[in-house]
Chain A
Amino acid sequence: MTDRDQGTYPPTEKMLAQPVPDDVAKGQEERLRKVWAQPPGWRYWSAVNNTEVGVWYCLTATFFMLLAGILALLMRVQLAVPENDFLDADRYNQFFTMHGSAMMFLFAVPIFEAISILILPSLLGARDMPFPRLSAYGFWCFVIGGIFVMGSILFDAAPNAGWFMYPPLSTEHGGIGTDIWLLGLSFIEVASIAAAVELIVGVLKCRPPGMRVNIMPLYAWYVLVVGGMIVFAFPPLIAGDFLLEMQRSFDWPFFDPERGGDPMLWQHLFWIFGHPEVYIIFLPSIAVTAMIIPTAARRPIVGYSWIVLSAVGTGFLSFGLWVHHMFATGLPSISLGFFSAASEAVVLPTGIQIFAFVATLMVGRVRMIHPMLWIAGALAIFVAGGLTGVMVAIVPFDWQVHDTYFIVAHLHYTVFGGMLFPVIGGIYYFYPVIAKKQLSERLGRWAFWLAFTGFNVTFLPMHLTGMRGMPRRVFTYPGDLGWNWLNMISTIGAFVMATGLLIFVYDLLRPKGKQPDPPRNPWDAGTLEWTHNVPAESWGIRSIPYVNTRYPLWQQPKMQQRIDAGRYYLPDAQEGKRETLVTSVIDAHPLHVQRVTGPAWITIWAAVFTGGAFIFPTFHWYPPAIVSAVLAVACVIYWNWTSTAEIPEAETKDAGLGLRLPLYVSGPDAVGWWAVWITMLADATAFSSLVFSVFFYWTASTQFPPQGAGFANPVLMAIGTGLVVASWALTAWARRDAGRGAMAALAVAMLAACAGGGVLILALWLPDMDPTAHVYPAMMWALVVWVIVHLIAGVVLQGYCLAGLAFGKITRRYDAPLWNSLLFWHFLCLTVLVTGAMVAIAPRLMT
């Protein structure tokens, strides 16, 4: 019991057994329905509910998957026979680049976020995600970025340097395609991080009361781990994109060996992202499997702790594998050995997960529901992919098969078995929750057997093709090397597989209007998502239950009825506001009632302008890009000002079951503060990647900094850093005071920050450090540019708080924006101090 909430918690059995009068329940239902209703007509697209945005997100990702699949089929046609001229070299290169990029960035990662946004709230008995408008914003960013990147192929301008975009090929010969890839996908990566932040906060803070960490659904554990991995894995790529784009646009020579740059740095940054990425797309599928297996076995999972260990362990180990994509780069044997060893170590957690599933099936009484067919297929495929993975993690073997069709086979075995098949199984499983209809089992069997057979016919021979010497990414091959019939078989298989997947997509999309409503819990599962309403209700869950078992529908038999009766928490919406419950991280103790945002167009506008800020620079149209960026910031400010941290009409409200909870909290109790904290971890990771780059250049070259190079002006660096630190201190003081004095402090802080930024620029400008001359000045400038961009954001936040105080949106009691801005400034202060040291001190020590 904390000191803020008042009343009884946890609820007693007596309280729960008390019936809710019918007329009361009716009134509650009507009010809830009204508050959560979707906007009608064309306004439908302004919806932000997880149930709507999640569906759009899934369908869009599926659409991109189909496009990328078509590219694959066209490539298979080209490779069916030797010396084919169906596609020319450039088009083929565009196709394989886009196939890989789209499958990774427009399908595999987004579909995880889409499915999670769609079902996580129902798994946790929550009304919605904590920040619905953020999900909508992320979705629209994804749509705009995806269409931009994918559309480039119609103009014959698509990226063509492979999905790892290795410089110098991508810098010297990429054409506009490289810029499209860098800026378009960075845009989508930012949206991915936003979704990850939201999912993490959702799992940590939006669980139903009583759902302690030891009983939360395994899916939620995986979301937590994968979200964390995204937060730490994507930023290095964003940092890499930043450096590569600076070279493309402004000729800063980060990857140009003639001016001290090093193409290897990109490979490191790309694969520090790229290997965790593999597990980012694999773990969610295991999560889906972890929901299906207990239902099929009709008993709780065996080895819950084992699976949690596997998820967390895989999350960690996956960050120590990246160099196994670089075994052929000529690194020292001992270094390769470390990564080979770590790559084998990750087998343990992966194996444990699979054996925990098998153990559950052993102990249970199994019934082969249809989704299990896909899971069985996935297991057969994934285990094969995992075993070839063990092989390619062995360095000498990888020296042979690296960059051959053996790798193409291996990676497709892992992604089909470790991602696509379980996801499809999951869609069959969750479809009744999502669409309130069922998919056809008959079509499902056809789809499965065609896809499964076709898959193996396509990819099993590729192991052999690769070992017989065929490199990947070749648009043609001679007819006398023994590859002809292998390629022909693969092409035939690809079309068989495509037929199977098309049947699935047809089943997914065909109108099912006449189909009767399915049973509410068709698989007889035990978790909360199956308390959904059939036919659909927009409120998510009628009342938020008190949960104290892992499989509440099995272990708390009266739960369904009590949820429906509105017996539990937040059964009403008296004030006409959308609300969900926020609980504590470990034990899910109810903390406060969170008002969540409703339908809005502003999120779409924000996405459009953010898109402009990323897309215009592709064509070197900088003025419209800057205008777009300013408008995007304006939209985000408007959206925050009008709908977040609103001062409530009362201090507390009756949350049901005799519990009164606060309506406004700030600081670490608030979900917004957690979101900022996690976002800043991602931001700090990107910055660390830049710092890593400095040390990388130092270890990789004797010319960093080059002989006789100038240094940043130390006095100016110290002054600039000092001004920014002063700005931080003033912001901290303003948070404490939160009154009239705070306004003055914030005004001075803004001036200090601007002045500090200017002085930092001068510190490099005056010694005439030319960023195009050598990688050393370029790297110093990159750090300072990074700081300047953050300073701009920091000043905007200070201004927001100043305005909030001036207009009474922020007061001593209602001070959440001050807490959140200060948290941002803590990180910014640290960033500036490190930058000061890296720019003013480190180079002097390195010479």
Chain B
Amino acid sequence: MRRNIFGWWAARVGLLIGPAGCAGNQSMFSPAGVDALATLNLFWVMLAGAVVIWFALNGLFLYVTRIHVGKMSRRLAEAVIIGGGILFPLVVLSALLIYSLPMMGEQRAPDDGLRVRVTAERWWWRVEYWPDGATAPIIAANELRLPVDQRTEIELTAGEVIHSFWIPALGGKTDMFPGRITRMTLAPSETGTFRGQCAEFCGLSHALMAIPAVIMEPAAFDGWLREQALPATSSGAGRAVFLREGCGACHAVRGTPAAGRVGPDLTHLGGRTALAAGILPMTADALRAWITNPEAIKPGAEMPAYDHLDESDLAALAAYLMGLK
């Protein structure tokens, strides 16, 4: 997707206001999706109009209260009411509505074959991939991967409370309700990693519920998805610790006895870009910190603290989990 006439401005202004973070960008000013770009262009149009109107109105006010304080013609004053209050907004707002109303349909256009179901939990994300014709989902968590240049349907729901799914670089947000399915579609136009975050207040750790979105070339995506469908390959001492400590009661690692559904599926944990719903880097140290005391990192998190594990167990566990590519 090529940037249009606003791209130049977007790039210029982007120098000033554009973002960059190691977790991927979360800004509307660097769109990487068809919908985000269309919305950004809409914004520039509206902003230009708004700036002109603001200066005109306040300038007029300043003029009549400070510069020309004397009496002006009554006819002119009435023309201002009719022109400014009725005719001008009628024309401008009709145009704006006609420009923007069809965009809803475009941004909710049907998918090109892939469907992803995201379920928001407190405070992480279940992610299930349903390629065309699939009968069972490919399960992942806390990371969304999409192929570039095609539209994917995101089916949204939630476990306990309302959340909202939002990846600013790709498009707008849609709320996620328990007991109800909402839908949106996204059409990424650039590859890369982009950060998303829960946008509807969902309680204690609402601030700590992010999701990286990795946009891949279609071929690479297909390969990745095939690997995701496979069971885990990691082994080593940590695997025993994992099973001994009962992690499998909540977490699933396909290919092992661990089949819990309460917490995130960890089958390919080590291959993900971030840990604990986008708030920690995927490193052994971060894993150890998380396992030792999740509450300190994410207040209210349901996972208990495993602070009784000794140094060697912890190291083994972290190594095992990092190995779940």
CB of B66 within 8 A of chain A?
Answer: yes
Please judge, given known A-B contacts A376-B65, A469-B195, whether A351 and B42 are in contact too, CB under 8 Å.
no
Residues of chain A from 523 to 556 with CB closer than 8 A to chain B in the complex: none
Encoded as 1 (CB less than 8 Å from any B CB) or 0, chain A from 371 to 386 comes to 0100010011001100
Q: Does B203 contact A481, Cβ atoms closer than 8 Å?
A: no
CB of A647 within 8 A of chain B?
Answer: no
Q: Does B101 contact A482, Cβ atoms closer than 8 Å?
A: no
Q: Does A469 contact B28, Cβ atoms closer than 8 Å?
A: yes
Q: Does A356 contact B81, Cβ atoms closer than 8 Å?
A: yes
The 8 Å CB contact of A468, one of B28, B43, B172, is B28
Cα–Cα, bound, A446→B60 (Å): 25
CB of A360 within 8 A of chain B?
Answer: yes
Interface of A is mostly: helix
Please judge, given known A-B contacts A166-B162, A348-B85, A356-B85, whether A337 and B104 are in contact too, CB under 8 Å.
yes
The 8 Å CB contact of A355, one of B85, B174, B198, B300, is B85
Cα–Cα, bound, A473→B198 (Å): 11
The 8 Å CB contact of B21, one of A362, A464, A480, is A480
CB of A161 within 8 A of chain B?
Answer: yes
Q: Which one of A224-232, A387-395, A622-630 contacts B?
A: A387-395
Task: Write the nearest CB–CB distance from B119 to chain A, whole angstroms.
Answer: 13
CB of A634 within 8 A of chain B?
Answer: no
Give every chain A residue within 8 A of B216 (Cβ-Cβ): none
Counting chain B CB atoms within 10 Å of each CB, the highest count among A263, A303, A362, A364 belongs to: A362
CB of B108 within 8 A of chain A?
Answer: yes
Cα–Cα, bound, A320→B173 (Å): 23
Q: Does A396 contact B38, Cβ atoms closer than 8 Å?
A: yes
Please judge, given known A-B contacts A395-B100, A396-B103, whether A347 and B182 are in contact too, CB under 8 Å.
no
Please judge, given known A-B contacts A397-B100, A480-B23, whether A403 and B164 are in contact too, CB under 8 Å.
yes
Q: Which residue of the partner chain A has the closest CB to B177? A: A263
Task: Write the nearest CB–CB distance from B65 to chain A, whole angstroms.
Answer: 5
Please judge, given known A-B contacts A390-B46, A397-B42, whether A469 and B27 are in contact too, CB under 8 Å.
yes
Give every chain A residue within 8 A of B77 (Cβ-Cβ): 302, 358-360, 362-363
CB of B161 within 8 A of chain A?
Answer: yes
Identify 11 residue pairs between A and B in the complex whose beta-carbon atoms are under 8 Å apart, listed by A's number.
A90-B299, A93-B203, A337-B101, A363-B73, A363-B74, A383-B58, A391-B43, A394-B46, A395-B104, A403-B199, A473-B207
CB of B204 within 8 A of chain A?
Answer: yes
Residues of chain A from 247 to 263 with CB closer than 8 A to chain B in the complex: 257-258, 262-263
Give every chain A residue within 8 A of B299 (Cβ-Cβ): 88-90
Q: Does B50 contact A471, Cβ atoms closer than 8 Å?
A: no
A-B contact count (CB 8 A): 273
Cα–Cα, bound, A223→B22 (Å): 54
Q: Does A169 contact B201, Cβ atoms closer than 8 Å?
A: yes
CB of A644 within 8 A of chain B?
Answer: no
Cα–Cα, bound, A379→B66 (Å): 15
Task: Write the nearest CB–CB distance from A58 to chain B, whole angstroms.
Answer: 28
Encoded as 1 (CB less than 8 Å from any B CB) or 0, chain A from 291 to 319 comes to 00000100000110010000000000000
Please judge, given known A-B contacts A257-B177, A364-B71, whether A328 and B164 are in contact too, CB under 8 Å.
yes
Counting chain B CB atoms within 10 Å of each CB, the highest count among A88, A329, A376 belongs to: A329
Q: Does B26 contact A481, Cβ atoms closer than 8 Å?
A: yes
Please judge, given known A-B contacts A90-B299, A344-B97, whether A481 and B207 are in contact too, CB under 8 Å.
no
Give every chain B residue within 8 A of A330 (Cβ-Cβ): 156, 174-175, 177, 180, 182-184
Task: Write the nearest CB–CB distance from A171 to chain B, whole angstroms.
Answer: 9
CB of A707 within 8 A of chain B?
Answer: no
Residues of chain B from 177 to 206 with CB closer than 8 A to chain A in the complex: 177-180, 182-184, 195, 197-206
Cα–Cα, bound, A258→B64 (Å): 61
Q: Does B65 contact A402, Cβ atoms closer than 8 Å?
A: no
Task: Write the nearest CB–CB distance from A419 to chain B, whole angstroms.
Answer: 19
Q: Does A473 contact B206, Cβ atoms closer than 8 Å?
A: yes
Cα–Cα, bound, A186→B58 (Å): 40
Give every chain B residue within 8 A of A344 (Cβ-Cβ): 93, 96-97
The 8 Å CB contact of A340, one of B23, B43, B101, B199, is B101
Cα–Cα, bound, A387→B200 (Å): 24
CB of B269 within 8 A of chain A?
Answer: no
CB of B223 within 8 A of chain A?
Answer: no
Cα–Cα, bound, A453→B133 (Å): 59
CB of A588 within 8 A of chain B?
Answer: no
Give every chain B residue within 8 A of A169 (Cβ-Cβ): 161-162, 201-203
CB of A16 within 8 A of chain B?
Answer: no
Q: Does A474 contact B17, Cβ atoms closer than 8 Å?
A: no
Sample of 12 more A-B contacts, CB < 8 Å, known A257-B179, A328-B172, A363-B77: A90-B299, A257-B177, A348-B85, A359-B81, A363-B71, A363-B72, A383-B58, A395-B104, A397-B46, A469-B25, A478-B23, A478-B279
Q: Does B27 contact A162, Cβ atoms closer than 8 Å?
A: no
Q: Which residue of the partner chain B has the closest CB to A257? A: B179
Q: Does B46 contact A391, Cβ atoms closer than 8 Å?
A: yes
Cα–Cα, bound, A361→B29 (Å): 41
CB of A173 within 8 A of chain B?
Answer: yes
Task: Write the nearest CB–CB distance from B59 to chain A, whole angstroms.
Answer: 11
Q: Which residue of the partner chain B has the closest CB to A353? A: B85
Residues of B within 8 A of A (CB): 17-23, 25-29, 35-36, 38-39, 42-43, 46-47, 50, 53-54, 57-58, 60-62, 64-66, 69-74, 76-78, 80-81, 84-86, 89-90, 93, 96-97, 100-101, 103-105, 107-108, 156, 160-162, 164, 166, 168, 171-175, 177-180, 182-184, 195, 197-208, 279, 299-300
Cα–Cα, bound, A470→B17 (Å): 13
Q: Does B84 contact A372, Cβ atoms closer than 8 Å?
A: no
The 8 Å CB contact of B54, one of A387, A395, A397, is A387
Please judge, given known A-B contacts A302-B74, A359-B80, whether A469 and B107 are in contact too, CB under 8 Å.
no
Cα–Cα, bound, A21→B100 (Å): 73
The 8 Å CB contact of B61, one of A361, A387, A391, is A361
Cα–Cα, bound, A395→B61 (Å): 31
Q: Does B199 contact A471, Cβ atoms closer than 8 Å?
A: yes
CB of A503 within 8 A of chain B?
Answer: no
Q: Which residue of the partner chain B has the closest CB to A379? A: B61
CB of A20 within 8 A of chain B?
Answer: no
Q: Does B36 contact A400, Cβ atoms closer than 8 Å?
A: yes
Q: Does B100 contact A340, Cβ atoms closer than 8 Å?
A: yes
Q: Does A90 contact B204, Cβ atoms closer than 8 Å?
A: yes
Q: Does A468 contact B78, Cβ atoms closer than 8 Å?
A: no
CB of A638 within 8 A of chain B?
Answer: no
Task: Write the nearest CB–CB distance from A264 to chain B, whole angstroms.
Answer: 7
Task: Write the nearest CB–CB distance from B202 to chain A, whole angstroms.
Answer: 6
Cα–Cα, bound, A307→B316 (Å): 75
Give every chain A residue within 8 A of B38 (Cβ-Cβ): 396
Give every chain A residue within 8 A of B60 (Cβ-Cβ): 358
Closest 6 pairs between A and B when the two form their complex, measured CB to CB = A399-B172, A257-B179, A330-B182, A469-B26, A482-B19, A352-B85
Cα–Cα, bound, A329→B206 (Å): 18
Q: Does B70 contact A482, Cβ atoms closer than 8 Å?
A: no
Give every chain A residue within 8 A of B161 (Cβ-Cβ): 166, 168-169, 172-173
Cα–Cα, bound, A482→B25 (Å): 9
Task: Write the nearest CB–CB distance from A57 to chain B, whole angstroms.
Answer: 32
Cα–Cα, bound, A303→B197 (Å): 49
Q: Does B65 contact A469, Cβ atoms closer than 8 Å?
A: no
Please judge, given known A-B contacts A348-B89, A352-B81, A358-B64, whether A365 and B70 are in contact too, CB under 8 Å.
yes
Please judge, given known A-B contacts A329-B182, A356-B81, whether A402 and B199 are in contact too, CB under 8 Å.
yes
Give every chain B residue within 8 A of A358 (Cβ-Cβ): 57, 60-61, 64, 77, 80, 84
The 8 Å CB contact of A257, one of B62, B178, B204, is B178
Encoded as 1 (CB less than 8 Å from any B CB) or 0, chain A from 395 to 417 comes to 11111111110000000000000
Counting chain B CB atoms within 10 Å of each CB, the highest count among A262, A340, A395 belongs to: A395
The 8 Å CB contact of B173, one of A354, A388, A400, A468, is A400
Encoded as 1 (CB less than 8 Å from any B CB) or 0, chain A from 141 to 169 comes to 00000000000000000000110001011
Q: Does A89 contact B204, Cβ atoms closer than 8 Å?
A: yes
Q: Which residue of the partner chain A has the closest CB to B18? A: A482
Task: Write the nearest CB–CB distance from A534 to chain B, whole angstroms.
Answer: 29
Give every chain A residue within 8 A of B72 (Cβ-Cβ): 362-363
Cα–Cα, bound, A482→B86 (Å): 41
